[in-house]
């Protein structure tokens, strides 16, 4: 997060937060006048509650989107769709991941190779096929009384369960999943050499 380009963070908040507020403001009059019951669904992320390493700006924007969702006007059913891992073009579409290269003065330079592979999305996680995800979400939203928070996508249930665990446990687990544990070991070894 400390090395993220502010302009890129602003783009994420524009896309994931301000767009929800702007769009909702335009449609609230129609939604409030619905005779059949209005339903508004915002696609946030499991990362809105999970401190996924190296995705701080994204996580923060999705957490803000989730909070906006919970504070939208009464009289409209608003659902927070917390999406987990889905096979998509997420990494290919990210401008910072097309050719991920650490800056020369990065805190993570000692673990450069591992870091850049993480940025490219080379993390060992399962991805739910997009078609399966879409079918499940449509089924959820087609219910007479869908829940206010829907968890869909691979690992979404795990994220929900982890939200009840102590932060230290979750943090350690996420380090292992993301490869940050290896980065941490490399950085500690480098610091150890400097103090010898």
Lookup: tokens for 34: 């619905």
> Using 50, 70 and 90 to split pLDDT, how confident is the model at 123?
low
List the catalytic residue out of 11, 35, 58, 176: 58
Q: Is 62 a catalytic residue?
A: yes
Residues 81, 87: contact at Cβ < 8 Å?
no
Tell me: domain 6-102+126-166, CATH 3.90.420.10, correct? no
pTM for this entry: 0.77
Domains of the chain: which residue ranges?
Answer: 6-102+126-166
Q: What is the pLDDT of residue 4?
A: 79
Classified as helix, coil or strand, 36 is coil
Residues 41, 141: contact at Cβ < 8 Å?
yes
- The answer to whether residue 119 scores a pLDDT higher than 80 is no
List the catalytic residue out of 35, 62, 112, 175: 62
What are the pLDDT digits (tens) for 40-97?
999 999 888 877 767 788 889 999 999 999 998 677 889 999 998 898 876 566 545 4
Q: Is 112 a catalytic residue?
A: no
Residues 6+ apart with CB under 8 A from 31: 38, 40, 76
- The answer to whether residue 138 scores a pLDDT higher than 90 is yes
What are the pLDDT digits (tens) for 142-158?
998 999 999 999 988 88
């Amino acid at each position: 997060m400390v090395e993220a380009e502010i302009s890129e963070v602003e783009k994420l908040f524009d896309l994931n937060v301000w767009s929800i507020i702007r769009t909702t403001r335009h449609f609230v009059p129609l939604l409030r006048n619905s005779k059949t019951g209005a339903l508004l669904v915002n696609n946030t992320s499991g990362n809105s509650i999970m401190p996924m390493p190296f995705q701080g700006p994204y996580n923060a924007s999705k957490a803000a989107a989730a909070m906006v969702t919970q504070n939208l006007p009464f009289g409209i059913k608003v659902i927070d769709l917390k999406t987990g891992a889905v096979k998509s073009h997420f990494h290919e579409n990210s401008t910072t991941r097309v050719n991920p290269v650490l800056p020369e003065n990065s805190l993570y330079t000692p673990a450069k190779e591992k870091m850049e592979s993480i940025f490219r999305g080379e993390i060992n996680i399962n991805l739910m096929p997009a078609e399966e995800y879409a079918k499940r979400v449509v089924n959820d939203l087609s219910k007479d009384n869908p829940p206010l928070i829907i968890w869909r996508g691979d690992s979404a249930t795990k994220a929900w369960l982890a939200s009840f665990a102590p932060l230290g446990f979750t943090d350690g687990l996420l380090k292992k999943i993301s490869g940050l544990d290896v980065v941490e070991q490399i950085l500690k070894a480098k610091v150890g050499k400097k103090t010898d």
